[in-house]
């Protein structure tokens, strides 16, 4: 039972996540030989105040 876990910032729309799940599933079928009905895609939406890179919180990053 393959799992794909996506860790990303909060903020995508349901439609974006719907399309992402569809695209990831298709990529796993095409490139990893997975059966779509066995594949789980889990999206972890993380608030920017709970994400750090290079010692800086997401909410404090300049490109925000
Ligand atoms: O780490 C960064 O530079 C910014 C991270 C962004 C995301 O995780 C996202 O866009 O979801």
Q: Is 44 in the pocket of ligand 1 (CB under 6 A)?
A: no
**Which residue range(s) make up the domain with 36?**
3-60
Structure tokens at 54: 């290079």
- For residue 4, what is the enclosing H or E element? strand 3-9
Distance 9 CA to ligand 1 centre (A): 6
pLDDT, position 63: 75
- What is the Å distance from ligand 1's center to 26 Cα? 23
Indicate which residue's Cα is closest to atom 3 of ligand 1: 53
Q: Is the CB of 62 under 6 A from ligand 1?
A: no
Total structural domains within the chain: 1
pLDDT digits (tens, 9 = 90+) for 34-61: 999 999 999 999 999 999 999 999 999 9
Alpha helical stretches, state H, 1-64: 14-32
pLDDT of residue 41: 98
Identify the CATH number of the domain in which residue 39 sits: 3.30.429.10
């Amino acid at each position: 039972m393959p799992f794909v876990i996506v860790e990303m910032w909060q903020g995508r729309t349901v439609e974006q996540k719907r399309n992402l799940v569809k695209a990831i599933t298709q990529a796993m079928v095409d490139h990893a030989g997975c059966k779509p009905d066995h594949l789980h895609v889990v999206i972890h939406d993380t608030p920017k105040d709970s994400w750090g890179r290079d010692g800086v919180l997401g909410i404090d990053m300049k490109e925000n």
